[in-house]
Amino acid sequence: MAAVRPRGDYGIDAPWVPWMWIGYTVLYAAITIAAATLWDAWWWVVALVGLATIGFAAGAALYWHTSLRGKFVLWDRLLSQTTLSGGSSALDLGCGHGTVAIMTALRFPDTIVTGIDLWRSVDQSGNTITAAQSNATLNGVQDRIHFDTGDMTALPYPDGTFDLVTASLAIHNIRSRDGRHRAVSEAVRVLAPQGRILIADIRRAKEYATDLRAAGLTVTTFPLGWRGWWSGPWMKTTAVTATR
C-alpha cells in the first residue's frame, strides 16, 4: 500500500500548543512528586494531580499524532472520496508545507495544483514557500504544483478557475467573522461550475456550511474521528464538503 503521508517535512501545526501541553505535564508531574513526598496522608490529592499529569501527557501525545500523521490519514480519506477528471485544476488555501496540495497532485496525476499561503510560522513551524517547494520536489510533483504567496481572503485568480478547492485547518486562523466569510466567498468565486470544495477544520464548520449554503452550494458536514483530535474530542476536526 502506498504511504499515506507524502515524503518530506510538514512542520507542526500551531507548534506552541503541544509545547504548552508538555509544560503542563512537567509542572503537574513535579507537583505530584512534591505532593507524594510532603503530604502522603493526602493520598487523594496525589492521585488527582497524578491523573491530571497523565491527562496532559495524553493530550500532548494526541496532538503530535494528529499533526504528524492523523491529518494525513483524514485527507487521504477525503481525497479518496473525490473524483477529478483528467486535466483538472485544484487550489489549496493556506497550504503550509504543501500537505494537501501534494496529496492532491499524487492522487490525481493529470491535475495541476496551486497552493496559496501567507507562510505564518505561528500557524505551522518552519512555514516557508521554499519548504513547500522542496516537499513537492521530494515527491516528484514539482512540475504540476505552483505555490503562491497571497491572502485567501483576496485570491489573485479569475472566477471559475478551479475544479477542486481545499482548505486544511487554515480558515479558522482568520480571526474575524468577516475575514472568514470573505475566504469562503473567494473559494466559491474561483470554483468552476461543476466544482467541489473540501474543508477540514477544528472550528466554525457550521459557519462555513451556512456561508456555502447561502452561496447556493449543496453542503454536507461530518466529524472526522479521533485521528483529527487536537489533544482531545473537545478540539476535533470536522469536514465540510460543498458542490455546486
Site residues for ligand SAM per CB under 6 A: 10, 13-14, 71, 94-97, 99-100, 116-120, 123-124, 127, 151-153, 168-170, 173-174
DSSP 68: I
**Cell numbers linked to 114:** 496551486
Q: Which is nearer to ligand SAM, 47 or 118 (CB)?
A: 118
CB 75 within 8 Å of CB 103? yes
Residue 183 Cβ vs ligand SAM, minimum distance, rounded to whole Å = 7
Residue 182 Cβ vs ligand SAM, minimum distance, rounded to whole Å = 9
- Tell how many helices (H) and how many strands (E) occur in the chain: 7, 7
Q: Which is nearer to ligand SAM, 81 or 194 (CB)?
A: 81
CA angle, 95 then 162 then 131, to 5° = 20
Residue 202 Cβ vs ligand SAM, minimum distance, rounded to whole Å = 9
**Cell numbers linked to 79:** 481525497
Which among 144, 79, 107 is positioned nearest to 2, based on CA atoms? Answer: 107
Residue 203 Cβ vs ligand SAM, minimum distance, rounded to whole Å = 12
Q: Which is nearer to ligand SAM, 100 or 212 (CB)?
A: 100
Q: Which is nearer to ligand SAM, 52 or 68 (CB)?
A: 68
Residue 126 Cβ vs ligand SAM, minimum distance, rounded to whole Å = 10
Q: Which is nearer to ligand SAM, 14 or 90 (CB)?
A: 14
DSSP, collapsed to helix, strand or coil, labels residue 243 as strand
Q: Which is nearer to ligand SAM, 32 or 124 (CB)?
A: 124
Residue 118 Cβ vs ligand SAM, minimum distance, rounded to whole Å = 4
DSSP 161: -
Pairing of strands 218-223, 238-243: antiparallel
Dist CA 156 CA 148 (whole Å): 9
Dist CA 70 CA 230 (whole Å): 10
